[in-house]
Each structure stands twice: as C-alpha cells, then as structure tokens.
Amino acid sequence: MNTQVRIDVPLDTGSDRRAATRWRRLWTGDDWADTTLHARPHGLALRAFRNGVRALVEGLPVEVAPWGVLWVPAGLPFALTPGRMRGRILEVRRSAGLPVLPVMGQPSPAEADVLLTDPVVALRVILARGHGLGRPTASQRIVRAFAHQLELGFHAGLRVQDHADRLGITATHLSRVCKAATGSTAVRLCTNRTILEARRLLVETGRPVGEVGASLGYASPSYFTRDFQLRCGTTPSAFRTAARLAAAG
C-alpha cells in the first residue's frame, strides 16, 4: 500500500519558518512520479532517515547515508529506487546560492533542526562541506548521457535503437549498461518515462486520449490504450476519471 503523504501547496521556500510542513514524507518508493527517472523543474533536497535511501541521479546509483542530505539541481534526471525507505523530499524553488551539481552532505544535530525550519539556509551550510558523486566510469557516462537524451526526446517516440545510434553504440550495449546502473533495461526506462508523461497529461489537461497518445509517439489510439493498460492496469479514460474523482473529494 502506498502511504506517501501528498502536499498540494506550492513548495516555495526562503526564510519562511513554516517550511517544515512542506517537506513531503517518503514511506515507500512505489510512487510512479518518484520512481520514474525524469527531470524536475525545481531543485530537490532529499533527507534520508535512519536506514538511508537509494536513488538515481542522471541514471547513476547514489546511496544516501542515514540522516544524510542529497541535493539534486533542477533539470537533472532523478528517481528513487523502488523499495521500502523513510525520508523527506523538499522541492526548492528559490535555489540561488545552492550548488549547480548534485552533492551530498551530513547535517549536525543542530543543523538538522534548522533544516526543517529554514531549509535553504541550512542546505547551503551542509552542502558547502559536502562532496560530489564522484567521477563516472565509461559505462556510467553512457548512462548519464542516455538519461539526459531520454528526458529531451521521450515525447518523440524514439526507440532504444535511436538513442543508441545517437550515442554511437549498439542497442544491446546500451541496455546492458542501463541494467547494470539502474536495474532496468533501456526499453523499460523509455517506456516508464513516456507513461509518466501520459499520466500527467491525462490528469492535468483535457486533451482527448488519442491526442495524448499521438503527442507521445503512439501510432494509434488503440495502441496507446493497450500499452497504457499493460503498464498501469487500467485504461487511459478510466485512469483520468479515477484521478478526477480523487481530486474532487
């Protein structure tokens, strides 16, 4: 059962002392939006609890130590690794003065308290003495490039072979390195990103189902419906109806 807490208010930080209420709790990692590799329009601060958290940043695995903080700048593909976890995520819209690259840090007990009440100030202090995620290997560089390429081209219906051609490697090699780094094949990463966008469009827009599918590269409405039902267990129309009913009450 998904026991995540959703927050509907904008996560706008700054010197607002009520920011503690704007950290979204993570209890499990089974939410599509959290576990699908994709870029966010705003920076994210991930605070792990006692067992730590596993994540993917630009497609590369990252272990966040217990009570540690991971900063993911806006525009970087990011996902949580599915599985039980405890932590909090904060979306930071005002990220001036924060790093432009992903970085981890470990807060002191005093800083942990400040992190909940004035997160932007605390993040600057904690991350200033943090460390980067290390230099990637050749295979990891491929995964990183693919993660960014996927984010830019998922709506065009590009196949794994198309991505591999752009990277100058074979589709087999691309799938192999993706599987090693993320636990998922390149095909699965592509499909999950496309379906995540389909879910967003179905919920946030009134576009017809066929138009949503066509915008994501599906050749026909029936093909889109079959693929969506296979991945989500329900048809696009039923998914949209359920989402609207849930939002209404």
Closest listed residue to residue 144, CA positions, set 169, 178, 102, 116: 178
Q: Could you name the CATH architecture of 17-128?
A: Sandwich (2.60)
pLDDT digits (tens, 9 = 90+) for 104-140: 999 998 898 888 888 888 999 999 988 888 888 999 9
Q: For residue 58, with 0-12 CB atoms within 10 Å meaning exposed, 13-18 middle and 19 or more buried, which class applies?
A: buried
- What integer pLDDT is reported at residue 56 of this predicted model? 95
In this predicted model, what pLDDT tens digit does every residue of 203-233 receive, in sequence order?
999 999 999 999 999 999 999 999 999 999 9
The DSSP result for 69-107, as a single string, is EEEE-TTS-EEEPSSEEEEEEEEES--TTS-SS-EEE--
Domain boundaries, the chain: 17-128, 138-248
pLDDT at position 18: 47
User: Residue 87: its pLDDT value, please?
Assistant: 86
Superfamily of the domain at 138-248: Homeodomain-like (1.10.10.60)
Q: What pLDDT score was predicted for residue 97?
A: 85
Instruction: Kindly state the percentage of the chain with pLDDT values over 90.
Output: 62
Measured between alpha carbons, how far is 201 from 122 in angstroms, rounded to an integer? Answer: 35
Strands of the 43-48 sheet, one edge to the other: 24-28, 84-92, 43-48, 69-72, 103-105
The pTM assigned to this predicted structure is 0.83
Q: What is the pLDDT of residue 225?
A: 96
Positions in the chain whose pLDDT score sits under 70 = 1-21, 27-30, 84-85
- Neighbour tally for 51: CB within 10 Å: 12
Write the burial class of residue 8 (CB in 10 Å: 0-12 exposed, 13-18 middle, 19+ buried): exposed
What is the model's pLDDT at position 27? 62
